[in-house]
Amino acid sequence: MRCKQSLIYEAFLQHQQLGGRKKVPVVLGTHLTKAFLRTHRARQHATAILVVDLEAAFYKVVRPLALSGYWDDELSACMTARLNLPADTLHALHNNLQQPGATLTAGMDARSRRALQAVHTDTFFQVSSQEDRTQTHLGTRPGDAYADVVFGYLMARILHKCQDQLSQLQVLSEIPDMESPVLFGRAGHQRPSPVPFVGPVWMDDLALCLWGQTTDAVVAKLGVATGVLLDLFREHAMSPNLSRGKTELILTPKGATKQEAKRRIAIANACFNRHRRLVFQNQQLPLDKRIDLFQSLVMSKLSYAMETWKLQDWQTREYVHAAIMRLYRRLLKAAQMSEQACWGLLNQDQAWLDLVQDDLVWMWHQLANTSALGDPAQHFERWLEIMAKAGPTFLFESTQCGACLKEYVTDGKMKTHLIRSTPCRTYLLSHGGRYHPAPGLGSSEDQQRHIEHDNKLPPLQALGPVLPPPRQRDLNLVHWDMHDAIVESALTLEAEDDFRLA
């Protein structure tokens, strides 16, 4: 159902509703928010970002609002009491239930709508330690992989209403409707009608983006938009989570500067301090384990969405560089002690476009003598085509190695074999075969094979024809951890004699 109805679903979603779309990364929401802030900061505007999170969103979906169908007054009263909805909200909810469901509004055919309603009728769940079952009427189908789509339909219904009301009140901004980036002076295709910009939405997380010529103007818009948005959520039986860290406001007065890099560095340092004794300075842990934990716990927090940063001046760049080096020095010291993007908005973010252009020019300088791509300033269409089609490298689609012909039974063992076997990995990379993605490590298929065959069958050697060995190529073999360790050690040496001794 998900695959067959994806076109209808994505066409019904609100323009900035990203969750559930194909090939859309979650970090795009962060990028759009930062592009909005940078664009209006460059224009000397005040901005406000209202971040809203819903409470138990998937468990409180009123199914007829999304899927149509029958809903009696007894269920409405029971649900209202359970969700602690006020009396005036019950009347608005009753009116919304009289209107067509989101799937009908989206144009889904009657047969598909009835199938969805049937799937969500008489649903139940069971606790493994009990024999009785509990029937459910609220929320998406328990444990269903289609749950995000059902919620997406309902969220799209709310967002369309919110967009219409805020546009009539002249609260929302508008962005050009474009389908590709504008780089190297290449004119992007722009549709005639602009698009109202609510802000990026990923499932039940919304970042409402507003701006004003003055701080007072954006505060006035914020009051109107907040009232409309919260009322619409309550009228559809959704409860905004108003606790700290869930629903928050980021207000940037006119002329203020957003210090995203400093905030990420502070988060990374706080994480390092929190785990300093038990992990990073724990002499009982091997160094390689500490390095892995440092990368996953500290550097992941610092580098989150770093590709969307735009460091405006060399002082800020030096500050970020020095902060990262300090973190590595702290880790090294501990070791020594123990041993569908909205291109209309993104194309207004000139600072980020300049950064992308510089990256592409740098890449062209590295590839100029070995590639026929051409300078991106003159042949950007070809570069854009490659970027649109580029994807990960898949080296196998079964549990048998195509180089040594050994059968490894599980995908996990096959993946480990290619990580450790340089001859097989370089052989497959050099031949450049095309493979469909195999089930990932930890997938249900791989776990089933692990249960049935692991520790029961050894790797089995097969015989057969193989292709002749081509010119070998491999993944990047630079040992960056060792490189960084040597650099950090050199930076801590104060005298030339110390360096010679080291």
Over residues 2-29, the pLDDT tens digits come to: 778 888 888 999 999 998 888 888 889 9
Distance CA(222)–CA(211), nearest Å, equals: 9
The verdict on residue 21 lying in a domain is yes
**323, amino acid identity:** A
From 389, 419, 452, give the residue that closes a domain. Answer: 389
Identify whether residues 366 and 340 lie together within a single domain: no
pLDDT > 90? residue 335: no
The verdict on residue 476 lying in a domain is no
Q: Write down the pLDDT at residue 115.
A: 86
pLDDT > 90? residue 481: no
If you average pLDDT over residues 367-395, what whole number do you get?
75
Distances (CA, A) of 280 to 272, 324, 327: 8, 16, 11
pLDDT > 80? residue 338: no
Distance CA(424)–CA(436), nearest Å, equals: 18
Contacts of residues 458-467 at CB distance under 8 Å and 24 or more positions apart, as own/partner, are: 459/406, 459/407, 459/408, 459/409, 459/413, 459/417, 460/406, 460/407, 460/409, 461/404, 461/405, 461/406, 461/407, 462/400, 462/405, 462/406, 462/407, 463/405, 464/405, 466/403, 466/405, 467/431
Distance CA(112)–CA(8), nearest Å, equals: 11
If you average pLDDT over residues 184-207, what whole number do you get?
85
pLDDT > 50? residue 226: yes
The verdict on residue 115 lying in a domain is yes
The verdict on residue 396 lying in a domain is no
Residue 199 pLDDT level (bands cut at 50, 70, 90): very high
The closest alpha carbon to 405, from 467, 452, 313, 362, belongs to: 467
pLDDT > 60? residue 256: no
Q: Write down the pLDDT at residue 188.
A: 67
Distance CA(128)–CA(345), nearest Å, equals: 49
Decide which of 354 and 50 is more confident: 50
Identify whether residues 197 and 288 lie together within a single domain: no
> Residue 201's beta-bridge partner residues?
17, 206
**Mean pLDDT rounded to a whole number for the chain:** 80
The verdict on residue 264 lying in a domain is yes
Q: Write down the pLDDT at residue 337.
A: 35
Identify whether residues 276 and 365 lie together within a single domain: no
If you average pLDDT over residues 428-441, what whole number do you get?
75
Q: Write down the pLDDT at residue 201.
A: 93
In the Cβ-directed half-sphere of 449, how many Cα atoms lie within 13 Å?
Answer: 18
Is the distance from CB of 429 to CB of 470 less than 8 angstroms?
Answer: no
Identify whether residues 98 and 206 lie together within a single domain: yes
Strand 46-53 relative to strand 205-212: parallel, antiparallel, unpaired?
antiparallel
Q: Write down the pLDDT at residue 388.
A: 66
Element containing residue 51 per DSSP (H, E): strand 46-53
In the Cβ-directed half-sphere of 338, how many Cα atoms lie within 13 Å?
Answer: 16
Identify whether residues 360 and 495 lie together within a single domain: no
From 231, 252, 273, give the residue that closes a domain. Answer: 252
Identify whether residues 354 and 342 lie together within a single domain: no
Identify whether residues 50 and 132 lie together within a single domain: yes
The verdict on residue 472 lying in a domain is no
- 153-166 pLDDT, tens digit per residue, is 999 999 999 999 99
Distance CA(257)–CA(253), nearest Å, equals: 9
Identify whether residues 245 and 99 lie together within a single domain: yes
Identify whether residues 226 and 344 lie together within a single domain: no
Identify whether residues 163 and 45 lie together within a single domain: yes
Whole domain around residue 381: which residue ranges? Answer: 349-389
Identify whether residues 380 and 281 lie together within a single domain: no
pLDDT > 50? residue 110: yes
The verdict on residue 467 lying in a domain is no
pLDDT > 60? residue 440: yes
Identify whether residues 110 and 133 lie together within a single domain: yes
The closest alpha carbon to 102, from 53, 67, 136, belongs to: 67
From 208, 233, 252, give the residue that closes a domain. Answer: 252
If you average pLDDT over residues 327-342, what whole number do you get?
59
Decide which of 300 and 392 is more confident: 300
The closest alpha carbon to 77, from 91, 65, 57, belongs to: 91
Decide which of 159 and 190 is more confident: 159
Give the pair of three-digit tokens for residue 28. 């795009």
The verdict on residue 473 lying in a domain is no
Distance CA(288)–CA(339), nearest Å, equals: 11
- Give the chain's domain count: 4
Decide: helix, strand or coil at residue 307.
helix
